[in-house]
């Protein structure tokens, strides 16, 4: 029986993404819920919209984690390399957009070092590219 070795770099990204999903759903939801505005209808509508958008990312994180675990544990055929390269590009874009947004908002307490998500996404991008 000919078996390929497990793709460790993809496994690492799958685990990081699953952890990000759990942190996002439980920790992030709690943090975002804590800043719910009082009484101002316009702010409430904007906050609810932000909460909904926030949870949409949770779906993406879970779907990506499941896809990456599938690639690690099953042979998905010749398209695996292209899937990993596309996922690498997605993580790269997440990292770049994060950096641009933090720099654009220019909040002294919200620095790139205090919000290091971009580092994780760029690391994941590199690992997936290497693993493809």
What is the domain partition of the chain in residue ranges?
Answer: 8-131
Task: State both tokens at 125.
Answer: 């991008």
Find tokens 């971009």 and name the residue.
Answer: 118
Annotate 35-103 with DSSP letters as a single string: T---S-HHHHHHHHHHHHHHHHHHHHHHHHHHHHHHHHHS---TTHHHHHHHHHHHHHHHHHHHHHHHH
What whole-number distance in Å separates Cα of residue 88 and Cα of residue 9? Answer: 12
Find tokens 């949870």 and name the residue.
Answer: 55
pLDDT in tens, 95-112: 999 999 999 998 888 888
pLDDT in tens, 68-101: 999 999 988 888 999 999 999 999 999 999 999 9
What whole-number distance in Å separates Cα of residue 117 and Cα of residue 132? Answer: 23
In the prediction, which pLDDT does 14 show?
Answer: 98
- Average pLDDT of the chain to the nearest whole number: 90
pTM for this structure? 0.87
pLDDT in tens, 44-70: 888 888 888 888 889 999 999 999 999
What whole-number distance in Å separates Cα of residue 31 and Cα of residue 35? Answer: 7
């Amino acid at each position: 029986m000919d078996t390929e070795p497990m793709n460790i770099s993809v496994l690492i990204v799958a685990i990081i993404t699953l952890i990000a999903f759990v942190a996002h759903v439980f920790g992030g939801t709690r943090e975002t819920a804590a800043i719910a505005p009082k009484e101002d209808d316009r702010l409430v509508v904007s906050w609810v919209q932000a909460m909904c958008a926030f949870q949409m990312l949770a779906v993406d994180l879970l779907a990506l984690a499941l896809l990456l675990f599938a690639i690690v544990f099953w042979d998905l055929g010749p398209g695996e390399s292209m899937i990993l390269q596309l996922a690498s590009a997605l993580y790269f874009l997440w990292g770049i957009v994060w950096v641009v947004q933090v720099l654009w908002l220019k909040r002294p307490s919200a620095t790139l070092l205090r919000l290091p998500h971009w580092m994780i996404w760029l690391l994941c991008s590199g690992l997936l590219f290497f693993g493809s």
